[in-house]
Amino acid sequence: MKVLRRCAFCGRTDSPLTKEHVYPRHWANFFPRSGTGPVNVFQTTPKGHVQRRGANHQFDEQVRDVCAVCNNGWMAELDEAAKTVVVSLGQATTAMMDASATSTFRSWATKIALVRTLQDKAHAQQAHEDRFHDFYRDRKPFGPLVVQAARCEMPHGDNNTSWVMPGANSATSNTVTVTLGRLLFQVGIFAPGDETYGPLTRLQLAAVRNMTKGKVRLVRDQRRFELGEEVTETEMMLVREPAALIGAGPAAENNISRTPIKRSRGGSFGNPYGVPNINDVAWQRYGDESL
């Protein structure tokens, strides 16, 4: 008997799964493709950092885990509700969101972040299925301090930083970083009431705000928001790798060990720490013997 696949959000099996664009496809004209190669898609776990080849345009990125009812219903409606403010921020024609717009932006950014994690199912880095169901029920982020945004110099692709326990088939928590044009935003995803990975995720987000000296700012519900100075290209390298900013201590305490990884194209970059890859940025503070 054929096993029917369930929609990641509503769980139904009586509606066919569709190709859901990670980013609204009809927004592509607002954000022209930069460069000639494929977009950069990054994945980070406590065990390493990987850059893989994405689609030729960011807005061509797709997953097939969402049913037609969700895709063409509430998800499309949320895209439309957020379109004006997101496009304006991404095109740098405005730097502000009214208090009335922040709730919509926070919900939309969380939807995008959840769908983005589905691209990493092959590595068990997608958000836990309960997080999709939670969001489907209330359309709200996973806390008041888990969505933040900034202005960036140029598009930098996206990244899904996740904590995946040994043997798990999905992530315990995720921190997703996305750039659309000149807009950068980050979203933390974790279980409500999680006293281990919830604080760890919030710590990653706070470390980004601290490292950028407030250029990356929290988007609070029903409060006016204004973008600050641009996050530089150098800062962006570490913004995209929030786990590196907090060090290996929390990983060691939670029995997550470092394992050697092969250096892949794009996995190394110039950064203020002068180390060969982002995995070492975290562990250099403690030393391998502590793990």
pLDDT tens string 107-126:
999 999 999 999 888 778 89
Is 264 within the bounds of a domain? Answer: no
Q: What value does the mean pLDDT take over residues 131-151?
A: 96
The sign of the CA dihedral 280, 203, 21, 60 is negative
Q: In this structure, what token pair is assigned to residue 268?
A: 């190394």
SS3 288: helix
* pLDDT confidence tier of residue 286, bands split at 50, 70 and 90: very low
* pLDDT confidence tier of residue 249, bands split at 50, 70 and 90: very low
What digits encode the pLDDT tens for the residues 176-234? Answer: 999 999 999 999 999 988 888 898 899 889 989 988 999 999 999 999 999 999 998 88
Domain total in the chain:
1
- The identity of residue 99, as a single letter, is A
Is 233 within the bounds of a domain? Answer: yes
Is 72 within the bounds of a domain? Answer: yes
**How many CA within 13 A on the CB side of residue 97?**
31
Report DSSP state, residue 23.
S
Angstrom distance (rounded) from CA 128 to CA 68: 21
Q: What value does the mean pLDDT take over residues 169-175?
A: 90
Is 2 within the bounds of a domain? Answer: no
Dihedral, CA of residue 122, residue 127, residue 133 and residue 135, to nearest 10? -130
Angstrom distance (rounded) from CA 18 to CA 72: 9
Q: What value does the mean pLDDT take over residues 141-145?
A: 95
pLDDT value of residue 33? 66
What digits encode the pLDDT tens for the residues 13-71? Answer: 998 999 888 888 888 888 876 554 444 554 554 444 444 444 455 777 889 999 999 99
Is 91 within the bounds of a domain? Answer: yes
Tell me which residue range forms the domain holding 47. Answer: 17-258+269-290
Is 178 within the bounds of a domain? Answer: yes
Kindly list the distances between the CA atom of residue 180 and the CA atoms of 35, 106, 153, in Å, as whole numbers in the listed order. Answer: 14, 15, 11
Q: What is the CA radius of gyration of the chain?
A: 18
Is 3 within the bounds of a domain? Answer: no
pLDDT value of residue 243? 76
Q: In this structure, what token pair is assigned to residue 237?
A: 């390298």
